[in-house]
Amino acid sequence: MHCCRKITMDADFLNRLLDGNQPQLVESLTQFNQINSQTFNFSHLTTSGQWVILWNKFFEYLTVPNMPRLVQCLIGIKILSRDKTYLNETVQMEQLDCLIDLAGIGSSGERNVSEDVQVEALKCLSNLIFQSRKCQEFCLTNSCTNGILRRIRTYKDGCVCYDIRYFDMKVLFLLTAINCDIRSKVREELHGLTYLVETLDLFMNQAADAKEFNDKDLELVNEVLKVLFNLTVRTPDNAIPEEEEEEAQFHRMAVIIHDLFFYRTLNRDKIFSLLSNIVNLLTSVPVSCYNELVTNLRQDERASKTVVPFEGKNVYVLEVLVGYLRKHFQQAEKKPDQFEILSPILTVLVKIVRASGLNRRFIRLKILPPLVNVMERPEVGTELRNYICSLLTSPCTQIADLSAELLFVLCKENVGRMIKYTGYGNAAGLFANRGLLGGRQGNTEQYSSDSEDSDTEEYKQIQHAINPVLGCYEPPKTNPLDGMSEEQKEYEAMKLVALMDQLQQQGIVQPCKIGEDGRPQPVEHILELQDEIPEQQRDHKRKT
């Protein structure tokens, strides 16, 4: 992308643009647009004051009756709007209303202009809404949002071209992403959730016979999914009301999302973008709707490539989501924005395994299969368990918490089982946060009592030599205290106490003991840890 490409705006060229002589003006506008097609910084115009003059003049031309080549004029406005130096100071409500009318979403309905004009006007609106806070505020009261929703309701008639539908969605996405008040208005006053779910269904039905999206179909579906995410995402400013109508819409949305997984596209990169938008939207879907993602298995579809049978159900969608997680692990290793990459899919998988026992059992087979290789630490390796265990100590606490919750639910919130698959060291943060230290258990009552453990022969053979802290086999080591007298042992112990006390006083470490609530509690002096020794010894005797 090129930027800061300057042109020499000499007096003759500027005068031709400002003169208004139509034959000459069209030629000058076309030349201006061609020269600046890749210009994104107009400092050479803003510093001279020419940017403001051209901006206002171009809008003046839009109001001239029978103005030829409105498209060229709109392209000029779109190009100038890339530089926001004086945009907030210069743009006027009347100018925005003019673009809205030309886009066919004004209060009086569609204006009698060509589709090309409507598309360019929508592109201008898109730039202005993205670049200018003032324009965003204008859109709270003008007809832009209402006009787009009004036109969306006409899509089923088949009279709105692809480009207009695409940029309708682009503008609506920006409006709902940037302004939470517009988001609430679209969802509650204009029933946007209902109409957009219908629009998504409509776009899918247009490709239903082949169940294959071309590039344009896919772009439209992606834009609708992004708007739906804006309308459903839960933030402090956007609490979704618990209403029966919206619950029904979420269930319908979940059914449509399920069907989306079965559509194909020739462009594999673009199908990944579709999955990304689906996963983002699923983070906002209530857990109660997740059962729509799994359907009954029919005899006539068992041979299909989109069938993954499991306990009488087709869990193809779950299989795809697990594969998507694996793909994202490969991406996250190369990118610093680990939270943005992994958070949505981890959130979705946590919801899936909480939705039903069947979901949890299938995902457990994929992520926590019976242990075979316990010679390496749980976080080392290329299996999904290894990847997720490596996130338990991530500096990004949100990712660590999501990963821990996913594994803990897969272990039926059983502390011992969690330690078996992750190692105590990796899981200690989760246990501390949930008050599960000192032998306490999680909320295991909500899970069925039947055991899903099936230890492999390989695991049983070396189970006695597995270090529970590391979560892997540890070769026997000589005892460093062997050969020492009791006095030497006591001397070494007191040296260790003194060193830990020094680290505590320097603020490097904070020794803790386990409180009655099962969480770590700081101690004032290291010797207080002696109080826990008898209890630990009693626990050890009970276990052995």
Please give the biggest Cα pair distance in the chain.
Answer: 106
Q: What single-letter amino acid sits at 218?
A: L
Does a structural domain hold residue 387? Answer: yes
Do both 506 and 462 map to the same domain? no
CA dihedral 201, 207, 208, 210 (to 10 degrees): -160
Integer angstrom CA distances of residue 130 from 8, 136, 153: 28, 8, 25
pTM metric for this prediction = 0.84
CA 33 to the chain's CA centroid: 37
Q: How far apart are CA 209 and CA 212, in angstroms?
A: 8
- Domain check: are 502 and 464 in the same one? no
The answer to whether 100 and 143 are in contact (CB under 8 A) is yes
The answer on 504 and 386 residing in a single domain is: no
* 422 and 509 inside one domain: no
**Nearest by Cα to 24 from 54, 68, 71, 66:** 68
Q: Give the tokens for residue 480.
A: 């460093």
Tokens of 489: 């042992």
234 token code pair: 């839960």
In the chain, the amino acid numbered 157 is: D
Is residue 421 situated within a structural domain?
A: yes
Q: For the purposes of burial, counting CB atoms within 10 Å of the CB of 337, is it exposed (0-12), middle (13-18) or buried (19 or more)?
A: exposed
Look at the chain and report how many structural domains it folds into.
2
Q: Is 235 exposed, middle or buried (0-12, 13-18, 19+ CB in 10 A)?
A: exposed
Regarding whether 439 and 351 lie in a shared domain, the answer is yes
Query: Would you say residue 351 lies in a domain?
Result: yes
Query: 531 and 469, same structural domain?
Result: no
Interatomic CA distance for residues 266 and 215, integer angstroms: 8
List of residues 6+ apart from 487 with CB closer than 8 A:
none
The CA-atom distances, in angstroms, between 458 and each of 347, 371, 467 are 33, 8, 16
394 and 459 part of one domain: yes
Point out which residues pair with 295 in neighbouring strands: 314
Please indicate, yes or no, if residue 519 is contained in any of the structural domains: yes
CA distance 16 to 27: 9
Question: Which 8-state DSSP code applies to residue 185?
Answer: I
527's CB contacts (< 8 A; 6+ apart) are 497
Q: Looking at residue 240, what DSSP letter applies?
A: P
Is residue 87 a contact partner of residue 61, using CB atoms and an 8 Å limit? no
Instruction: Report the relative pairing of strands 472-473 and 313-314 from DSSP bridges.
Output: unpaired
With CA atoms as reference, report the closest residue to 324 among 281, 274, 358. 274
Strand partners, 212: 264
In terms of domains, do 517 and 462 share one?
A: no
Cα 425 to Cα 180, 318, 399, 470, distances in angstroms: 42, 30, 17, 6
DSSP 371: P
- Quick one: three-class SS letters along 70-136? HHHHHHHHHHHCCCCCCHHHHCCHHHHHHHHHHCCCECCECCCCCHHHHHHHHHHHHHHHHHCHHHH
Domain presence at residue 398: yes
Residues 411 and 383 both lie in one domain: yes
Residue 372 lies in a domain: yes
Q: Are residues 464 and 404 part of one domain? A: yes
Whether residues 517 and 410 share a domain: the answer is: no
Q: Return the half-sphere exposure (C-beta side, CA atoms, 13 A cut-off) of residue 185.
A: 19
The single residue listed with the structure tokens 């409180």 is 515
Which residues sit opposite 520 in a β-bridge?
A: 514
Q: Is residue 284 in some structural domain?
A: no
Q: pLDDT tens digits, the chain, 544 residues: what are they?
A: 444 444 446 777 888 888 777 678 888 899 999 999 998 888 888 888 899 999 999 999 998 877 767 899 999 999 999 999 999 999 999 999 999 999 999 987 666 889 999 999 999 999 999 999 999 999 988 999 999 999 999 999 989 999 999 999 999 999 999 888 899 999 989 999 999 999 999 988 887 777 888 889 899 999 999 999 999 987 655 555 455 667 888 999 999 999 999 988 877 778 889 999 999 999 999 999 999 999 998 776 666 788 999 999 999 999 999 999 998 887 655 556 677 889 999 999 999 999 999 999 999 999 998 888 777 888 888 899 999 999 998 888 899 999 999 999 999 988 888 888 888 888 887 877 777 676 566 666 667 665 566 677 777 777 677 777 887 777 777 777 787 888 888 888 888 888 888 887 887 877 777 777 667 777 776 666 666 555 544 444 444 4
Domain, as residue range, for 509: 491-543
Could you tell me if 389 and 460 lie in one domain?
Answer: yes
131 located within any domain: no
Residue 522's beta-bridge partner residues?
Answer: 512
Give 88-130 pLDDT, tens digit per residue. Answer: 999 999 999 999 999 999 987 666 889 999 999 999 999 999 9
Cβ atoms within 10 Å of 338's Cβ, excluding its own: 19
